[in-house]
Structure formats: C-alpha cells, structure tokens
C-alpha cells in the first residue's frame, strides 16, 4: 500500500465512524436528572443503625476504628447509666473514608452499615466530618431482627438469665445443683 | 538444678520450678489461666497440657502441676497435647457470654488470646449457658460474673496473697461463684489487683469503665508517685486523659502488684480545675511572658535586696531532675535559702533517716518478703506505705514473726504482735523485742516510720540495725523524699525560710510543686508570712492553695507526662517515662456540634491546647532569662550528666526506665545533726491532755491522690482516735462528735475508740479540709461537742 492510499483510508474510516455514531443511541446519562441503577452490592455512605426495639445498636467497642485502614473513625465510649455501653460521640471523617467496608465487617453488633447513598459531596472539607447525629438512622438497616444484647449474656435488654440461650441465674446461697 | 528438654531445647531451671515456667524461660508460652508466678499453680484450668515423652512422668500432663526433673523430655506441640488444650478451652468457653464488644477486658484479655492460641475458634456447643447475678463491689472494681472460667486466681490473690477476708468462693463445680457475702466495697487495700490477675473480664477497673480500649492507650514504664516505695506501674492515657493504671513487674520492688492508692489515684491529672494556664498577676498569658515576668521579679529583688532575698522550695513529690535544676538555679543566684519540703519536722526526720541508710543495712521492699523477723517501729504500713503490708504478709506466710511497736491500733492483713507504745518509748521497746528475738533469726529487718517517731527513734533503729546486723527499712512521705533529702543535705528547712519572710529578708519565693500554704503545719503562720512576700512564683500541676495565690504561675507536667527519676525509700533511683503529652483532655474540650458538651471541637490546633511542660524547662528558661551560663540545663540528658557529677548520684548514669533501678547512698557527709531542733514542730509539749498526732491513711491523706476524686471516695469522715480507757476517763463514747482543742486551735470530728491504741495519745488523719496537722505534736483536750 502506497503512502497516499494509507492517508485516504484513514481519513474515510474516521469520517465513516463519526457518521455511524451520529445515528447511535447516546450512552451519556444526564446526571443528576438521570441516574444509573446501582449494583446490588454497592456500598457508600456509612450509617449507624438501631436495633428492632429502637435502641442504639452501636456499643462503642472500637473494632471499626481499630480495623479502619485510614483511621477515619473515632469515638468515645461510655456507660449510659444502666450498664448499656454506647458512644458518647462518634465521628467519621468521610473526607478520608475509602469506603472499603471493613468497619461493617468488623462490627459485632451490626450497627455500622454501608448504604447505597453515594451523593454526599460537600463544598467544605470540614462538612465531610459526620457526627453521631448525622450517622444514626431510625431503622435497623440490614438484619432487621438482630439485637446484640439478646445474645450476649450481660442482662441489658432482658434481665440476666432470661435470654433464650441462658439458664436462670445461679442461686449463690444454695448448694442445690 | 534439674535439666530437661522442651521441644528439643535443653533448659536448666532452679529446683522446684514447674515445667510451664521452664518452658516460659525458653520463650515457649503455653496457654494457661490459673497459674500465676506470684500465686503458684493449682491445676484448676487444665489448659497448660504438654506431652511428657521421656522421664519420670509420661503422657499428656498439666505442666504447671509437674516439677521439672532431670531427664524429662517434653513436647509442647505434640498432637495429643494440642488436642487436649483445644478441648479444654472449648469446655471453658461453653458458658462464656461472648460479650467481648461490651467488655472492658477486650483487647487485653488472656481468655481471648488463649482461646485462639488454644485452637478454638468456632462454637459447637448448642446448649444453654449458665448465668450469675453480679455484685456491686464498690467504685474501684466492676464485677461481671458470667465471664468467669473458674481459675481461682481472684480467690487466691485476695484471700491467700493479700489476706482479705470479705471475698471468697461460693458453690461448687461450674456454678462456682467468686464474690462477697453481700454487695459492698471490697475492703482490702489491694483489691484493685483483681483486675490485673483476672484472666478474663470478671473483674475490671471501674474507674476506666467503658472508657478505652488498651490499644488506644498511650503507655510508658513509670513509677508510682503516691508513696515512698516507688512501685512500678504503667499509666495509660487516651486523648490526653490519664485513664488506666496497671501494675508493672519489678522483682526488687513491688513484685507483680500495686495498692489501690497507686492504681486509682490518677484522677488528679485530668481534674477539671487543674491549672493549665500561665498566669501573671491573675491574668492569663503565655510561656514567654510568664518567664519574662518571673525573671523581672527575681532580678529586681536581687538588685534591691541581694541574693538572700530569693527563697526556693523544691518538693519531695517531684522528679529528681526538677529539684536538681532548682538547686542549680539557687547556686547560680547564690541564694542560700533552698529547701525541698514544706513540712520541716518531717523533712528533718527524713533527711536524718536517709543519711543513716547504708549499703549493708538497707533492704528493698521485696527483701522484706524474704526476712524471717520483722520489727516495725512507729510505722503503720497499710496507711503509710500500703505495699509494705502486702510484702510483710508474704513474709508472715512463710513463717516470719512480726512485731509492730506503734501507738496506733495498727491493722495488718495477717497475725502479728502489736506492742502499743508512745513515740518516746519506741526505742526502748524495740531494744526489748530485739533482745528476745534477734538470736533465733537469720534475716531480720527493722522497719521504721518517719511520720510519728522522733529523731531519737529513727537513730535508735539505725543503731540497733548496725549493732545487731539487721536490715533497715524506713518509710518516707513521698515518692522522691529520698532524692529531696539528699539534695537538701544539711541546708535550712522551711521554718527558717518562713522566719526570713516574716523578717522581710526574703522577698521572692519560687515554689516548685510545693504547697506551703496547704502543707505547712501552721497554716496561719504560712499565710501571714507568704503575704509579706513581694512575689510568689509557683510551678505545679495541682490546684493547691499556693498555686491559687501565685503572682506568676507555670503549669507543670505530672509524673506520667514527663521523663524523670524518683528515688524511693530504699535509695533506689528509678526512671519513669512520658506516657502522653499533657494538655486539656479532648473529651472535656467541646463544643463541637449538638449536643455541644459531648463532641470534641471541630477545629484544628497546631499545638496541644493547654499544654504543660516539665518544671525544669521553666527553671532553665528563667536561668537563661537572668543571663546565667546554663547550657547544661537544656535537655534531660545534660541535666542528668550534671547530676552524675555528684559522686552520690554517679549510679544514675546506668539507669534506664525498665531496669530494676540504681541504688543511691546519701552518705554521712552532710547529715543534719541530731541535736538540731527543727525550727517548728519539734518536741511535743509537756503538760495536761492527750498527745496528738496527725497521721496518714491509705486513702485521702497523701498529697497527690487527695486530689483524685475516686480515692477520695474511700477516705473516711474526719475522726480522732483514742484509747477506750482514756475515752471512758473523759466520759466520752465511741461515735460521739467531739471537739479537739489545744490553745486557740480546735477541730470538730467524730470520736473513735480502740482498746489497742496506746494510752495518752490521740490520732487524727490529715484529711483535706480537716486541719489535723496544725495540732500535731501538741497536747490536746477532747471534750464533747455541745450541739
């Protein structure tokens, strides 16, 4: 093939492609008016959920903050007064979060969950820091039946020995079996 | 010494060592719960199984129960042994509530570690779990009995090791319960160690309840500041708040444990009213301005009245380096008025005691455990130096005879002979006891207090120890009393400095972590004298009366917040390291957003807010500001180098924080003379009435922990204690409100009586807000208080 035919071929191919694409249906989506369906396992903004009784699920065990590879979770645990452990404050810096989901995996009470909400850009970096009141939702999220305290035998939701997998408390003043 | 082979490695261990310990020596750690080096083996958990291949014992055996013998060949990773361990840990876990997320032990839990190490990771047992109702054990220890695995460590520590009798075992088999007969504070002064010995989360530190995980804590090897024994501990701080204090092992000092004053006395560091600002004339300012102001005041006083117009007080509760730099500053100023305690009588007695200790007679705290005759004169171990009582108990358990010669009805967690004697009679009674007992004892030790005994008793103890070849052990008042006494030597005491202030010769006082207004026995005199000063410069971390009255105030760093050295009562210099940078705790900073009191602030700081620095930095700044040549005060290394120039402190050169410490001998060169009467406090008056002494208590009287809210909870109501017969003679009954008066001063408190209290004496604790010190050493009248 001579040099001139090569140039002509390239020219015509390019024009032909352009012409062809003019009659194709466009792939561009008019975001935000139009939104693409997310995959079933998409995980974005983190929330704190409540147990079925409406209580805060988070017990401030620090496993999420310990496992977080970018150290974007911080909190202070405390006693609510009745022996229930809860986060006095709980803070996630979404400016730093890489949405890896390891906090959700580590969470023993299923409190911290990643949601499909990806639209939370901000103009100021400090607004990416979410406090507990921004994170806590009113529902159970995934696993609607689960209540940590019904399985851990320390008597917060049910009195001691009243959970389904427990015997009643030992009577320490009797030697009967 | 038997030699045995463990996993193909030969090891030689002392006679009587068990195989588990022998393996540990090789660095092979096999999971175990019930065995503890201090408390021995009982074979309760059955977890430390190993396979004994050759030798006198064969088969899979619980290694803590087998003494190492010659010819043993042991395999720790044998499949049979591993299977045994896996099954045992699975059984132990059948009743465990799996509540690690809400358990304070999580992260430092032996059960967590050894469950995984033992090979059990997934629960197979589907049956129900046993439960207990937990008890309220006071504000120091939290109990959650469901987590128990029945290793009996708590029982063995509390009853056997510490001698408590209000806690023990109930029921049998897997329903075994460890607790009190009914809810209430654990009475032992060593109850806090339950949190350390419990391998799981049954007993946890309530002062740190739900506050932190161990991996978040900033820790460093440290030394307890709450008495003169210098027990080793590990403070843990989170977000600039001192939260959790744990015992650290030192085989020469405290062994494995610490007392509750040391463990729960850390609240002072995070108090809301801790002074954290530089103050000049009641105005908040910055470090440079404060240094400038101090320099101006000092140089003005020197220019006008000469170097004698500046007085400096160091402190027995601050580090050796701080006191040393203060002394250097005094030397550079040519100021002769420098002392290291604001309680002259105690100061003089401690200087005397320290100078009497020598390499031959002094005993370490741990040596007390191995003596066979203990004679304590004028000391109240549980109250003045709690861990001493624990060591004395270990000696008593090994068969030592213990005599306590003291006017107070001394309480100790074991059987002993109490000989009530007034401070004047201590020397005589001591000689009597020694005559009877010295000959059939191999390793005797004489313990002497320095609070209520006089200088004569302190001398008599040293003389007896020298003559009869006994060990000598003085209890002092504070963590660095020894260091302060060595630096003070034969210098003036604080009483002389007060006279200087009253006479107008002293115009400026620099108080380094000392509180003359709060600690000098005659508070009114101190207040009058300090009012005459032109200026008062204070460096401290406690909100003391003196700190509040300061013209120039520098916020200092506390023990866990800086590097330093304390010298304990034995003369053992121990280094401590900085665990965290002091500043306003993040949790008390607020406001962020709603609820504002809870969130930490949302802005960034380039510097730690409210940061305090070690006092030596300020003193160095002042020296530089005064134009002194002081390059050697720039860093801790150079300060220690100048310190080591003093022959007595030469052993410090080899010191590092995790060592057993370096022994310092004060020497007799500048021993204060026995005849020198302290300028205040001295000999008790003669006359009518009971002889009154202010005394120490485990909780509430020690200067630093008195500022900690949690230890204050265990401080009693103010009381005065007298002999029952004396009380009957005065027509008074136990529990009545009485007035204790001497001259113009009087105290109002509750009367306690005891038959074992010496006749003719009265005792009251130096509690905050109860000015017992004012009457100490005086004759008092006790009358019923009219309503």
- Which A positions 114-143 lie with beta carbon below 8 A of chain B? 126, 129, 131, 133
Based on the domain organization, do B169 and B212 belong to the same domain?
Answer: yes
CB contact under 8 A, B129 and A177: no
Q: Is residue B359 part of a domain?
A: no
ipTM score: 0.87
State pLDDT tens for residues A19-49: 999 999 888 888 889 988 889 888 999 999 9
Residues A51-79 have pLDDT tens digits of 999 999 999 999 999 999 999 999 999 99
Of B97, B175, B209, Cβ closest to residue A170: B175
Which residues in B lie closer than 8 A to residue A170 (C-beta atoms)? Answer: 130-132, 171, 175, 177
How many C-beta neighbours within 10 Å does residue A120 have?
Answer: 12
**Three-state secondary-structure class, residue B727:** helix
B130 and B214 belong to one structural domain = yes
Nearest chain A alpha carbon to B216: A66
pLDDT, tens digit, 9 for 90 and up, residues B644-667 = 888 889 888 888 878 888 898 887
Q: Residue B66's CB: how many other CB atoms inside 10 A?
A: 22
- Check if A146 contacts B (Cβ < 8 Å): no
**Beta-carbon separation of A170 and B132 below 8 A:** yes
Token pair recorded at residue B192: 């806090």
d(CA B192, CA B196): 8
Using 50, 70 and 90 to split pLDDT, how confident is the model at A173?
confident
Confidence of residue B590 (pLDDT cuts 50, 70, 90): low
B522-543: per-residue pLDDT in tens?
999 999 999 999 999 999 999 9
Indicate whether B20 and B148 sit together in one domain: no
**B101 with A126: Cβ contact below 8 A:** no
> B589 to chain A, minimum CA–CA distance in Å?
13
User: B714 and B694, same structural domain?
Assistant: yes
Q: Does one domain contain both B66 and B141?
A: no
**How many of the other CB atoms lie within 10 Å of CB of B244?**
23
Structure tokens at B598: 């809870």
Residue listed under structure tokens 């009587």: B16
Rounded to a whole number, what is the distance in Å from the CA of A38 to chain B's nearest CA?
33
CA distances from B9 to B12, B20, B62, B665 (A): 10, 14, 19, 43
Give the tens place of pLDDT for each residue, B207-243.
999 999 999 999 999 999 999 999 999 999 999 999 9
Backbone angles phi, psi at B349, to 5 degrees: -65, -40
DSSP, collapsed to helix, strand or coil, labels residue B364 as: coil
Closest in B106, B209, B598 to A61, CB measured = B106
- CB-CB under 8 Å, A62 with B598: no
Adjacent-strand bridge partners of A50: A56
Residue in chain B nearest A176 by alpha carbon: B171
CA distance B373 to B392: 10
Residue of A nearest to B593 (CA): A131
pLDDT mean across residues, chain B: 92
CA nearest neighbour of B260 among B226, B285, B293, B284: B226
A154 inside 8 A of chain B by CB: yes
The 3-state DSSP class for residue B356 equals helix
**pLDDT-based confidence at B675, cuts 50/70/90?**
very low
The residue among B241, B270, B299 that closes a domain is B270
pLDDT at position A176, please? Answer: 77
Q: Return the ∠ at Cα B636 (arms to B635 and B641), rounded to 5°.
A: 100
- DSSP H or E run through B466: helix B455-468
Radius of gyration, CA atoms only, chain B: 28
- CATH number, residue B86: 3.10.20.740
Report yes or no: B170 and B126 within 8 Å, Cβ to Cβ: no
Residue B757, pLDDT score: 93
Q: What angle do CA B400, B404, B410 make, to 5 degrees?
A: 120
pLDDT in tens, B726-750: 999 999 999 999 999 988 888 999 9
- Tell me the two tokens of residue B605: 């700081």
Distances (CA, A) of B612 to A146, B314, B514, B581: 47, 18, 17, 8
Q: Which site among B96, B99, B593 would you substitute to test the A interface, given the most A Cβ atoms closer than 10 Å to its Cβ?
A: B99
Separation in Å, CA of A42 to nearest CA in chain B: 27
- Report CA B323 to chain centroid distance, whole Å: 20
Query: For residue B448, is pLDDT > 80?
Result: yes
Q: What is the pLDDT of residue A157?
A: 86
Cα of first residue to Cα of last residue in chain B, in angstroms, is 73
Cβ–Cβ gap A153/B600 under 8 Å: no
- Secondary structure (DSSP) of B400-437: -EEEEE-SS----SS--EEE---GGGHHHHHHHHHHHH
Q: Is the pLDDT of residue B758 over 60?
A: yes
Farthest CA pair distance, chain A: 106
Instruction: Please tell me whether residue B546 adopts helix, strand or coil conformation.
Output: helix
For residues B250 and B265, state if they share a domain.
Answer: yes
Q: How many beta carbons lie within 10 A of that of residue B443, not counting itself? A: 16
Say whether both B35 and B145 belong to one domain: no
Structural domain includes residue B635: no
Question: What does the pLDDT read at residue B785?
Answer: 85
Q: What distance in Å separates the CA atoms of residue B603 and residue B592, rounded to the nearest whole number? A: 8
Which chain A residues touch B206 with a CB distance below 8 Å? none
Out of B93, B121, B144, a domain closes at: B93
Which range, of A158-167, B130-139, B213-222, B393-402, averages the lowest pLDDT? Answer: A158-167
For residues B119 and B154, membership in a common domain is answered with: yes
Dihedral sign for Cα atoms in the order B92, B93, B95, B98:
positive
Inspect the interface and report whether the beta carbons of B592 and A133 lie closer than 8 Å: no
Q: What is the DSSP letter of B159?
A: I
Residue B485: the pLDDT is 94
Beta carbons of A177 and B128 less than 8 Å apart: no
Nearest residue on chain A to B210, alpha-carbon basis: A78
Which candidate, B577, B556, B707, places its Cα nearest to that of B223? Answer: B577
Q: Kindly state whether residues B261 and B120 are assigned to the same domain.
A: yes
**B244 within a domain of the structure (yes/no):** yes
Would B674 be classed as within a structural domain?
Answer: no
Q: Which of B131, B142, B150, B592 to mutate to test the interface with A (most CBs of A within 10 A)?
A: B131
Sign of CA dihedral A155, A157, A159, A160: negative
Q: What pLDDT, on the 0 to 100 scale, is given for residue B669?
A: 62
Range of the domain at B64: 3-93
- CB contacts < 8 A, A to B, total 103
Question: Can you tell me which residue has the tokens 């009545």?
Answer: B736
Q: Domain count for chain B, please give it.
A: 3
Q: Which residues of A touch B598 (CB under 8 A)?
A: 76, 88-89
pLDDT computed for residue B682 by the predictor: 47
- Mean pLDDT, chain A, as a whole number? 90
Establish if B29 belongs to a structural domain.
Answer: yes
Q: Is residue B197 part of a domain?
A: yes
pLDDT digits (tens, 9 = 90+) for B326-353: 999 999 999 999 999 999 999 999 999 9
So what's the pLDDT on residue B166? 94
Contacts of A160 in chain B (CB under 8 A): 131-134, 146
Q: In terms of domains, do B211 and B259 share one?
A: yes
Q: Confirm whether B734 is domain-assigned.
A: yes
Chosen domain end from B93, B127, B146: B93
pLDDT tier at B597, thresholds 50, 70, 90: low
Domain with B718 in it: what CATH number? 2.40.40.20
Q: What does the block give as tokens for A170?
A: 């030992």
Cβ-count burial B182-202 (b if 16+ within 10 Å, e if not): eeebbebbbbbbbbbbbbbbb
B367-407 residue pLDDT tens: 999 999 999 999 999 999 999 999 999 999 999 999 999 99
* Residue B215 near residue B109, CB atoms below 8 Å: no
B31 and B159 co-located in one domain: no
Q: Does residue B343 contact residue B550 with C-beta atoms inside 8 Å?
A: no
Pairing of strands B72-75, B49-54: antiparallel
Same-domain status, B135 and B225: yes
Residue B223 lies in a domain: yes
Tens of pLDDT, residue by residue over B263-292, are 999 999 999 899 999 999 999 999 999 999
- Asked if B210 lies within 8 A of A78 by C-beta distance, the reply is yes
């Amino acid at each position: 093939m001579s040099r001139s035919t090569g140039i002509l071929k390239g020219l015509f191919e390019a024009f032909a492609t352009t012409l062809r694409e003019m009659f194709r249906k466009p792939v561009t989506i008019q975001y935000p008016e139009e939104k693409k369906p997310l995959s079933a396992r998409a995980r974005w903004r983190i929330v704190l959920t409540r147990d079925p009784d409406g209580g805060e699920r988070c017990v401030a065990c620090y496993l999420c903050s310990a496992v977080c590879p970018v150290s974007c979770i911080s909190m202070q645990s405390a006693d609510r007064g009745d022996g229930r452990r809860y986060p006095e404050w709980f803070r996630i810096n979404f400016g730093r979060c890489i949405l890896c989901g390891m906090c959700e995996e580590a969470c023993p009470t299923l409190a911290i969950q990643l949601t499909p909400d990806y639209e939370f850009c901000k103009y100021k970096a400090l607004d990416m820091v979410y406090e507990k009141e921004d994170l806590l939702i009113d529902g159970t999220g995934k696993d609607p039946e689960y209540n940590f305290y019904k399985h851990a035998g320390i008597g917060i939701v049910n009195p001691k020995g009243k959970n389904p997998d427990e015997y009643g408390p030992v009577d320490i003043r009797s030697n009967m079996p | 010494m038997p030699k045995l082979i463990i996993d193909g490695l030969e090891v030689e261990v002392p006679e009587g060592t068990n195989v588990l310990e022998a393996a540990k020596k090789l660095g092979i750690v096999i999971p175990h719960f019930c065995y503890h080096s201090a408390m021995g083996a009982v074979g309760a958990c059955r977890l430390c199984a190993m396979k004994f291949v050759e030798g006198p014992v064969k088969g899979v055996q619980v290694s803590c129960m087998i003494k190492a013998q010659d010819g043993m060949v042991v395999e720790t990773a044998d499949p049979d042994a591993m299977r045994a361990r896996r099954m045992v840990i699975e059984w132990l876990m059948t009743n465990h509530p799996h509540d690690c997320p809400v358990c304070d032990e999580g992260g430092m839990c032996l059960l967590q570690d050894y469950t995984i190490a033992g090979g059990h990771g997934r629960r197979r047992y589907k049956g129900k779990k046993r439960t207990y109702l937990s008890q309220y054990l006071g504000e120091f220890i939290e109990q959650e009995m469901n987590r128990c695995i029945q290793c009996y460590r708590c029982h063995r520590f509390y009853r056997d090791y510490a001698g408590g009798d209000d806690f023990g075992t109930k029921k049998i088999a897997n329903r075994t319960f460890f607790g009190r007969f009914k809810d209430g504070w654990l009475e032992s002064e060593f109850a806090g160690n339950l949190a350390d010995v419990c391998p799981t989360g049954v007993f946890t530190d309530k002062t740190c309840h739900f506050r932190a995980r161990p991996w978040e804590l900033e820790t460093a090897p440290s030394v307890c500041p709450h008495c003169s024994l210098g027990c080793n501990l590990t403070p843990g701080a989170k977000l600039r708040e001192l939260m959790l204090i744990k015992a650290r092992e030192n085989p020469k000092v405290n062994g494995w444990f610490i007392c509750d004053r040391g463990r729960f006395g850390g609240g002072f560091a995070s108090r809301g009213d801790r002074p954290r600002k530089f103050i000049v004339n009641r105005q908040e300012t910055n470090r440079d301005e404060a240094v400038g102001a101090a320099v101006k005041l000092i140089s003005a006083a020197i220019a006008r009245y000469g170097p004698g117009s500046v007085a400096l007080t160091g402190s027995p509760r601050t580090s050796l380096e701080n006191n040393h730099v203060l002394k250097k500053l005094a030397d550079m100023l040519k100021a002769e008025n420098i002392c290291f305690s604001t309680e002259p009588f105690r100061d003089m007695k401690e200087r005397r005691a320290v100078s009497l200790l020598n390499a031959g007679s002094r005993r370490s705290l741990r040596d007390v455990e191995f003596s066979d005759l203990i004679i304590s004169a004028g000391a109240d171990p549980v109250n003045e130096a709690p861990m001493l009582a624990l060591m004395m108990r270990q000696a008593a358990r090994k068969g030592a005879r213990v005599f306590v010669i003291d006017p107070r009805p001394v309480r100790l967690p074991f059987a002993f002979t109490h000989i009530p004697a007034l401070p004047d009679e201590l020397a005589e009674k001591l000689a009597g006891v020694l005559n009877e007992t010295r000959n059939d004892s191999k390793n005797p030790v004489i313990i002497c207090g320095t609070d209520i005994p006089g200088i004569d008793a302190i001398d008599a103890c040293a003389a007896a120890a020298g003559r009869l070849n006994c060990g000598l052990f003085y209890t002092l008042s504070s963590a660095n009393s020894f260091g302060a006494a060595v630096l003070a030597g034969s210098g003036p005491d604080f009483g002389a400095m007060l006279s200087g202030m009253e006479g107008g010769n002293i115009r400026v006082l620099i108080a380094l972590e000392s509180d003359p207004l709060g600690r000098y026995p005659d508070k009114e005199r101190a207040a009058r004298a300090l009012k005459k000063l032109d200026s008062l410069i204070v460096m401290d971390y406690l909100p003391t009366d003196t700190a509040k009255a300061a013209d120039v105030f520098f916020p200092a760093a506390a023990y866990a917040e800086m590097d330093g050295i304390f010298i304990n009562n034995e003369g053992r210099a121990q280094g401590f390291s900085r665990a965290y940078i002091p500043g306003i705790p993040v949790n008390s900073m607020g406001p962020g957003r709603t609820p504002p009191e809870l969130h930490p602030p949302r802005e960034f700081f380039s510097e730690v807010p409210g940061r305090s620095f070690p006092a030596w930095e300020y003193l160095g700044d002042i020296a530089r500001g005064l134009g002194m040549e002081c390059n050697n005060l720039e860093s801790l290394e150079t300060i220690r180098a100048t310190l080591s120039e003093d022959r007595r402190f030469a052993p410090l050169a080899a010191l590092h924080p995790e060592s057993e410490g370096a022994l310092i001998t004060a020497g007799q060169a500048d021993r204060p003379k026995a005849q020198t009467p302290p300028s205040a406090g001295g000999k008790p008056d003669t006359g009518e009435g009971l002889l009154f002494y202010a005394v120490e208590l485990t909780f509430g009287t020690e200067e630093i922990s008195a500022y900690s809210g949690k230890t204050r909870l265990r401080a009693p109501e103010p009381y005065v204690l007298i002999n029952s017969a004396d009380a009957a003679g005065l027509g008074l009954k136990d529990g009545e409100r009485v007035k204790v008066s001497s001259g113009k001063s009087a105290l109002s408190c509750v009367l306690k009586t005891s038959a074992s209290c010496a006749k003719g004496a009265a005792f009251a604790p130096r509690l905050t807000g109860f000015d017992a010190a004012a009457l100490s050493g005086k004759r008092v009248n006790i009358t019923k208080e009219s309503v």
